[in-house]
Amino acid sequence: MKITPPPAPAGLSDAAHQAGWRALLHARPVLLVAFAFAVMADPVSSVAYAIEAALRALHGDLGLLLPTMGLVVGLIALVIVNYHQLVARYPQGGGAAAAAGEAFGEAWAFVPIGALIVDFVLTIAISSAAGASAIIAYLPAAAPWRIPLALALTALVAGMTWFGHLGRAVFALMTLAFIAVTAAVLTGGLTAPVHPTGTITHSTGHWAPLAVAVAFPVAMALATGVEAPSSAIAQLGQLDDAGRRRFGRITLWLTLLLVGGITLGLTAEAVHLKIGIPRPDSTQIADLADHAAPGALYGVFQLLTALLLLSAASSSFAAGPGLLKALARHHRPDGHQAGILPAVWGRTNSHHTPYWGVVLFLAVSGVVIVAAGGDDQRLVLFYAVSVFMAFIAGLVAMTRFSLREGKFGHATVNLIGALAVGFVLLVNLSRGEPIASLVAALAIAVLLYRMWVKAGRPRGIRDAAAEAETG
């Protein structure tokens, strides 16, 4: 199919425009790889703690681990089917905030925005804590320094963000390298001897379905980041709407293929090799890698695991302050006042980094790390709550659109997705402590709403997530 370029902009010769268009077309595959693998750094890194979280929720029952993680991947597939529709509707980005704002009025955009802010804090905290766990698993002598190590990693990532975003290509290379080394670990595990490690239990079959139903919502931390393409496509200013829509959809399905494949592969191998709940100075995924690929490959795997987790933290250090910048008071090109937060949150340094936002996210995530004792497995309990609030907002909005437009097949898929996500949210909230994530997200949403009303209800709030990506 021939792709016709748009008309040449004023002041640019037709020959130069045609040459630039041809260069863009040739660069598209590289751009797609860089975009897709950078965006999926967060969900790919989640395998470092999500599988272990499921096993802990199962109290060490390896026999139920594979069906539990299979259910997790299945629900992620359902969410991605819905976000496939959302990306088609909002090719310029915006995700759940754009959908909720259009479906129910701009005020409702604050619900997913509040959830996103909490999600960014928790992503930084859990990624830094899990990075510290990866280091400790390789160097157990560092175990007494877990909290200082996690805080140091958080400060290191914040410091690097201060000097500008690390870049899409770096995240993409980190993700690709982790996937390649994980494939090598899985290959090594095929011939490794079975040697039970850690705590392993066995439950009666009568309670198995209930155990899986209660355990899999904890492991839905694996789903965090799968929605990122719906907002991140706003970065692709060099593409038209059709191009951004295509990139977003391809990235969504690549995420399902790779995250689902890695998760189920590691889970199946952990069950086969009988890798149970690890000792306090290790992780399940580290025990698996040490058993399947001991020696130098194990060390490389732990290093790449830590680096990928820090990449996920770095992306949230860019996205979180970027969202505050988009919400800060500023003048639009048409001269109208926009934004609701004090202008200080929009100030940037010479590297275009909103530095006060970085400081804020560093401080809050540091407090969260200390409160959790640097334990990524404790933070997992809080993690899925905030992002699933954003999921529900987006899915309910898409259900309303589908019904309004008479697309009853789409509406059925949207409603099933919303009910499934709601079930996960309720089960996680029933554990007690994760209610703190819900309260924090709603409190932020209410605070932003009141500031919006005080500012005269300026338009464009629902586009804040997209503006943060383009910023």
pLDDT tens per residue across span 28-58: 787 888 888 888 888 999 999 999 999 999 9
> Looking at residue 471, what is its pLDDT?
61
> Looking at residue 206, what is its pLDDT?
67
Q: Position of tokens 């990306």? A: 87
> Looking at residue 4, what is its pLDDT?
42
Q: Over 60: is that where the pLDDT of 17 sits?
A: no
Closest CA to 74 of 213, 279, 282: 213
Q: Between the CA of residue 388 and those of 69, 81, 222, 227, 378, what are the distances in Å?
A: 17, 15, 11, 10, 18
Residue 165 binned pLDDT confidence (cut-offs 50, 70, 90): low
How far is 212 from 78, CA to CA, in rounded Å? Answer: 18
How far is 177 from 129, CA to CA, in rounded Å? Answer: 21
Give strand ranges (E) for 20-121: none
Q: Position of tokens 């789903």? A: 223
> Looking at residue 84, what is its pLDDT?
93
The average pLDDT across 15-32 equals: 58
The 10s digit of each residue's pLDDT in 114-145 is 999 999 999 999 999 999 999 999 999 999 99
Q: Over 70: is that where the pLDDT of 383 sits?
A: yes
Q: Which residues contact 411 (CB under 8 A, 6 or more apart)?
A: 399, 402, 403
Q: What is the mean pLDDT of the chain?
A: 87
**pLDDT exceeding 90 applies to what percent of the chain?**
58
In degrees, rounded to 5, the angle at the alpha carbon of residue 238 between the alpha carbons of residues 236 and 239 is 75
The average pLDDT across 298-312 equals: 93
* Greater pLDDT, 353 or 357: 357
Q: How many CB atoms lie within 10 A of CB 219?
A: 31
SS3 94: coil
Q: Between the CA of residue 3 and those of 7, 15, 17, 85, 250, what are the distances in Å?
A: 13, 16, 14, 24, 19
- From 70-84, 162-176, 305-319, the region with the lowest mean pLDDT: 162-176
> Looking at residue 77, what is its pLDDT?
95
Residue 431 binned pLDDT confidence (cut-offs 50, 70, 90): confident
How far is 469 from 195, CA to CA, in rounded Å? Answer: 47
Q: Between the CA of residue 205 and those of 61, 193, 202, 209, 220, what are the distances in Å?
A: 11, 27, 9, 8, 23
DSSP string, 203-255: --GGGHHHHHHHHTTGGGGGGTTTTHHHHHGGG-TTS-HHHHHHHHHHHHHHH
Are the beta carbons of 37 and 171 closer than 8 angstroms? yes
How far is 2 from 8, CA to CA, in rounded Å? Answer: 18
How far is 54 from 77, CA to CA, in rounded Å? Answer: 18
Q: Over 60: is that where the pLDDT of 3 sits?
A: no
Are the beta carbons of 462 and 102 closer than 8 angstroms? yes
How far is 230 from 225, CA to CA, in rounded Å? Answer: 10
Over its C-alpha atoms, the chain yields an Rg (Å, rounded) of: 22
> Looking at residue 188, what is its pLDDT?
92
Closest CA to 144 of 131, 132, 153: 132
Q: Over 80: is that where the pLDDT of 401 sits?
A: yes
151-156: which pairs have CB atoms within 8 A and are 24 or more residues apart? 151/366, 151/369, 151/370, 151/374, 153/128, 153/310, 153/313, 154/124, 154/125, 154/128, 154/313, 154/362, 154/365, 154/366, 154/369, 155/362, 155/366, 156/310
Q: Over 90: is that where the pLDDT of 237 sits?
A: no
Q: Over 80: is that where the pLDDT of 355 sits?
A: yes
The 10s digit of each residue's pLDDT in 86-109 is 999 999 988 899 999 999 999 999
Residue 76 binned pLDDT confidence (cut-offs 50, 70, 90): very high
> Looking at residue 32, what is its pLDDT?
84
Q: How many residues does the chain have?
A: 471
Q: Position of tokens 């494939």? A: 183
What tokens does 161 get? 């963000």
The 10s digit of each residue's pLDDT in 203-217 is 766 678 888 888 888
